[in-house]
Amino acid sequence: MLFGAGALAFTAFGLTACGRSESGSTATSSVTTAPGDDRSVATDAYVFGYPLVLMDVTREHGAPANRFEHSRTLPDAANRTLVRPNQDTLYSKAWLDLRTEPVVLEVPAMESGRYWLMETMDMWTNVAQNPSSVRPQLSSGATGGPFTYAFLPPGWNGTLPPGITPMPLPTPQAWILGRIQVDGQADLPAVHAIQDGLRIAPLSAWVANPGAGNPAAESPSTADAVQIVAGMDGRAFFDRMCALMAIDPPAPVDAPALQRFAALGITPGGSAGKIAAEVLDGAVADGRGRVENYRDPANTIIEGWNYSAAAGRYGTNYGQRAYVARMGLGGNLPEDALYPTYYGSVDGNGSMRLHFAPGQLPPVDAFWSITAYAADGFLIPNPASVYSVGHQLPVATNPDGSVDILIQNAHPTAQVAAANWLPIPEHGKFTLTMRLYAPQPTAIDHTWKPPAVTNT
């Protein structure tokens, strides 16, 4: 997924803009909204509640609870539904409902070296659990799988059967956004078999029949949740937000913000019914603009590549939380994946190049890729049907161990390996997204730096 560049500070309702860092330090920012201004308070409430409402609308148009929905094909330039798709993984998604009891997930054993990730978000889009092939969080005695987990609702203190790893969640509903490495079209049957081996079931059903699982759901009709939320008026948005907070409560650190919203009736199970409709509608318009135009003050640009601050852990940085949800629901933690992004433009048959010095390819524990997109965020049609390099097409090295990737519209000469050419449009803007799966610490802390895109 992509994040914005630039720097525009966002005020977290008088709280810290970026929350508490890993080291424990706290960043601060000035208050920009008047505490007694109903429209300003409601605007802040919109930004605060936007991820929750968006998640619920996405859930409403997804598969039934506690059942997987699998993507089965790799995208190409004809795909016009998913913006900025990747050709590296297939998705397996499941909405969890833990209001009655825990839910068990089993990830089947698979060959060594295949990357998988079962990112699990609470309903506020924080990544609460992230078992993967790099960090499988093995059950007692497990070696190569299968790996069995139980997602636990808040406050649950029952007993799990032996061999099941507990995965506590802060909200009673959640979303598994699973990814499984796929190595091209020929690898699809093997990945489909892995997807079919994923098991998910309520704990009581699992105890009665270990290894059983609910059948996968048919892919539901696609719906643009972002546009559905954007079309809500103030009354509809805030009533839904209040109802949802009664099911999936905010975190304890949100108490100061909730106290401020309570003056308008925006509380778990409450209603903003006493506030004039034009005030709420104005807050929705203001909040929508704030989310769409948010700029991450911690954004870093290295050699022209844009890095956002870590997704998946937001604390009280409500602006970034809402922006990430708006631009690409399901942002990964940095230890799971990084997405440096380059924004470029080309006029005519211009040619650019990426040169990796010997030993300077992206440092990852899984694999990496670079994908090119047109200005609209979709894959770029080209006669060779080449959309990304590095993973599906492992790059060729020069005699000295360096790597050159040619970035241009025209097919390169025979002197350039097919796997080292990344097609872009003949004219106009484009983006490159470098995906680092299971990045090593040197990529996360920027000790390793991507090379600049240069003209040839």
User: Which two three-digit tokens encode residue 314?
Assistant: 């937001």
Summarize pLDDT for 319-350 with one digit per residue, the tens: 999 999 998 888 899 999 999 999 999 987 77
Same domain, 255 and 198: no
**pLDDT tens by residue, 231-253:** 999 999 999 999 999 999 999 99
Q: Are residues 80 and 203 in the same domain?
A: yes
* Type and span of the H or E element at 45: helix 38-60
Which of 6-20, 85-99, 342-356 is least confident?
6-20
Neighbours of 180 (CB within 10 A): 25
Task: Please check whether residues 426 and 373 belong to one and the same domain.
Answer: yes
Number of independent structural domains in the chain = 3
pLDDT for position 412? 85
Residues 6+ apart with CB under 8 A from 82: 75
Phi first, then psi: what are they for 238, rounded to 5°? Answer: -75, -30
Cβ proximity of 326 and 4 under 8 Å: no
Query: What CATH number corresponds to the domain at position 157?
Result: 2.60.40.1610
In a domain, 3, yes or no: no
Same domain, 70 and 203: yes
Interhelix angle 277-292/38-60, rounded to 10 degrees, is: 70
Q: Do 348 and 322 lie in a common domain?
A: no
213 inside domain:
no
Residue 13 lies in a domain: no
Planar angle of CA 31, 11, 334, nearest 5 degrees: 155
- The single-letter code of the amino acid at 435 is R
The residue type found at 150 is A
Q: Are residues 110 and 183 in the same domain?
A: yes
Residue ending a domain, choose from 328, 360, 386: 328
Considering the domain architecture, whether residues 149 and 83 belong to the same structural domain is answered as: yes
Residues 73 and 191 in one domain: yes
Indicate whether 362 and 293 sit together in one domain: no
* pLDDT, tens digit (0-9, with 9 covering 90-100), for 421-436: 999 999 999 999 999 9
Question: What percentage of the chain reaches a pLDDT higher than 90?
Answer: 74
| Residue 125 predicted with pLDDT over 70 | yes
Is 242 contained in some domain?
yes
User: What pLDDT does 247 receive?
Assistant: 98
The domain in which residue 446 lies consists of 340-455
At residue 447, what are phi and psi to the nearest 5 degrees? -60, -45
pLDDT band at 36 (very low <50, low <70, confident <90, very high): low
Task: Judge whether residue 456 has pLDDT over 50.
Answer: yes
The three-state secondary structure class of 194 is helix
Q: What is the pLDDT of residue 138?
A: 57
Q: What 8-state DSSP symbol labels residue 262?
A: G
**How far apart are the C-alpha atoms of 198 and 67, rounded to whole Å?**
10
Token pair recorded at residue 226: 């972002």
| Tokens coding 111 | 């060959």
Q: Which of 307, 328, 349 is the last residue of a domain?
A: 328
pLDDT tens for each residue of 385-401: 999 999 988 899 999 99
Residues 75 and 193 in one domain: yes
Residues 395 and 448 in one domain: yes
Is residue 220 in a domain? no
Question: What is the torsional sign of CA 253, 137, 183, 212?
Answer: negative
**Could you tell me the two tokens for 137?**
């969080």
